[in-house]
A and B are shown apart, each in its own frame.
Chain A
Amino acid sequence: MSTPDLRQLLADHCFTRDLPTDLVDRVVEHARVTTYPPGAWLFREGSTAKEFHLVVSGTVAVSMHVPGRGDHVVDTVDACETVGWSWLVPPYRWFFDARATTEVTAVTIDAVALRTIAEQEPAFGYALLRQVTVVMLERMQAARVRLADLYGPAA
């Protein structure tokens, strides 16, 4: 995909659409469009978190493998959502598996490069961290609400 198309995908994506244009341009330099057929792994638990993915279309299941019980899906990620934040903080290792459950198109971003720029350019780093924090906050709130088991039997 050409750079203008990639820039447009980033301009439209929920993760990057509120970033200033010059910062999006920096991200474009380290991004590429990827596709995954159903069943393909985006990453596996325990592996190094070197990239993350902005889902453009399709669905990704975030799961944990339990020996003897199979893969427990803890979340599904759809278009305009982001897969992965373990790349941001040490030890830069994926905590879950991520697998495409449908045909997935994503913008895959070189997280190592972004981390390097963020270290060197605090304004970029702050803007990036704000976006990642939104993702983390939404996921943590959702996890806590699910812990409350609202649909479970009344106390």
Chain B
Amino acid sequence: MTATASTDRVADAFAVREFGVTSRRQDTRDTVTLSLSPRDGVPLGFAPGQFTMVYAFGVGEVPLSISGDPAPGRALLHTIRDVGGVTHTLAGLRRGDVVGIRGPYGTGWDVSDGRGGDVVLVAGGIGLAPLRPALLQVLARRDDYKRVVLLYGTRTPEDVLFAADLEKWRGRFDLEVEVTVDYGPPLWRGKVGLVTGLIPRAGFDPAHTLALVCGPEPMMRYVASALSDRGVPPDRIRLSMERAMDCGVGLCGHCQLRELFICVDGPVFTYERLERLLWLREV
């Protein structure tokens, strides 16, 4: 490769495309979903599990998982939790506002690896957002899979993400959906407890299961252990990791996890690859 070609490739990786906000949905008290449309008219293809770098002009850039349907022609959706300066700005955008997008980047869930067997998705909190495209992809080819299970844990009933989707999914006879919360206020009639508590009774065949897990890192450690204890092979358990990703293309090193760069080697990894690293401190 010539120096010019190499420079061009780096420049391409940092190219920002403009996307307009076409709709905004308030999902929970602190979380919104933006629907985005490319201003150049060229759709952004992506694999479930990938992320983009989203730029709030004049404020900053953050990595965000894609929460929309990966099927061609569907809008680009980002589900944003208002936790900092950039996400606060993004969460406050309205129809017609414009953001910059780089990507998509990173590895995906590769749900097709689960064909012919069971698929279990375990989400914690906002971790349901990156798993949503994977579930939609599975449901689009439902006959390719046996049992499909979604286990979701979150803080309170008010923090349940994609409530309308969950209601719809629960109505299907070919999908097992269990939701549990950490705190059950009066009138809550659902489950209270950790999402790990749902794993022993969920209906799947561990030896022939592909498990996809996303949530806070301690939750993923517990869930991966529980899935492994139940008999899911570590190379069939996939986790989506989160670190401070800045460049998105493996140059800045901010998202380094020992020998891995989360942005290019991940964010989706097998438990087999991550198990040792998950228990290391300060990496």
Q: What is A's interface to B at a CB cutoff of 8 Å?
A: 59, 61, 63, 69-76, 78-80, 101, 142, 145-146, 148-154
Q: How far is the CA of A35 from the CA of B255 in the complex (A)?
A: 54
Q: Which of A59, A76, A78, A150 has the most CB of B within 10 A?
A: A150
B83 in the interface, Cβ–Cβ < 8 Å?
yes
Interface window among B179-187, B204-212, B257-265, B267-275? B179-187
Chain A neighbourhood of B125, CB < 8 A: 150-151
Interface window among B14-22, B55-63, B130-138, B214-222? B214-222
Q: Is the CB of A61 within 8 A of B83?
A: no
Q: A61-B184, A146-B183 are in contact. Are A74 and B201 (CB under 8 A)?
A: no
Q: A74-B184, A151-B124 are in contact. Are A146 and B191 (CB under 8 A)?
A: no
Q: A150-B125, A152-B155, A153-B83 are in contact. Are A72 and B184 (CB under 8 A)?
A: yes
Q: Is the CB of B197 within 8 A of A142?
A: yes
Q: Is the CB of B182 within 8 A of A146?
A: yes
Chain A neighbourhood of B183, CB < 8 A: 72, 146
Instruction: State how many residues of chain B have any CB contact under 8 Å with chain A.
Output: 33
Closest to B190 in A: A76
Q: How far is the CA of A31 from the CA of B164 in the complex (A)?
A: 44
Closest to B191 in A: A76
Q: Is the CB of A75 within 8 A of B192?
A: yes
Closest to B188 in A: A73
Q: Which 3 A-B pairs have the closest CB atoms?
A: A70-B186, A73-B184, A151-B125
Query: Of B201, B216, B219, which one neighbours A78 at CB under 8 angstroms?
Result: B201
Q: How far is the CA of A145 from the CA of B216 in the complex (A)?
A: 12
Q: How far is the CA of A154 from the CA of B83 in the complex (A)?
A: 7
Q: Is the CB of A76 within 8 A of B201?
A: no
Chain B neighbourhood of A154, CB < 8 A: 83-84
Cβ of A105 to closest chain B Cβ, rounded Å: 15
Chain A neighbourhood of B155, CB < 8 A: 149, 151-152
B159 in the interface, Cβ–Cβ < 8 Å?
yes
18 contacts between A and B (CB under 8 A): A70-B185, A72-B185, A73-B185, A73-B192, A75-B192, A76-B180, A76-B193, A78-B191, A142-B193, A146-B194, A149-B155, A150-B124, A150-B216, A151-B126, A151-B153, A151-B154, A151-B159, A153-B83
Q: A76-B193, A146-B194, A151-B154 are in contact. Are A69 and B219 (CB under 8 A)?
A: no
Q: How far is the CA of A148 from the CA of B183 in the complex (A)?
A: 12
Closest to A101 in B: B189
Cβ of B60 to closest chain A Cβ, rounded Å: 16
Given contacts A73-B192, A145-B222, list 9 more A-B pairs with CB under 8 A.
A72-B185, A72-B186, A76-B190, A142-B196, A151-B126, A151-B153, A151-B159, A151-B182, A151-B216
Chain B neighbourhood of A145, CB < 8 A: 194, 218, 222
Closest to A145 in B: B194
Closest to B197 in A: A142
Q: A61-B184, A150-B125, A151-B154 are in contact. Are A75 and B159 (CB under 8 A)?
A: no
Cβ of A125 to closest chain B Cβ, rounded Å: 27
Q: How far is the CA of A151 from the CA of B194 in the complex (A)?
A: 11
Chain A neighbourhood of B116, CB < 8 A: none
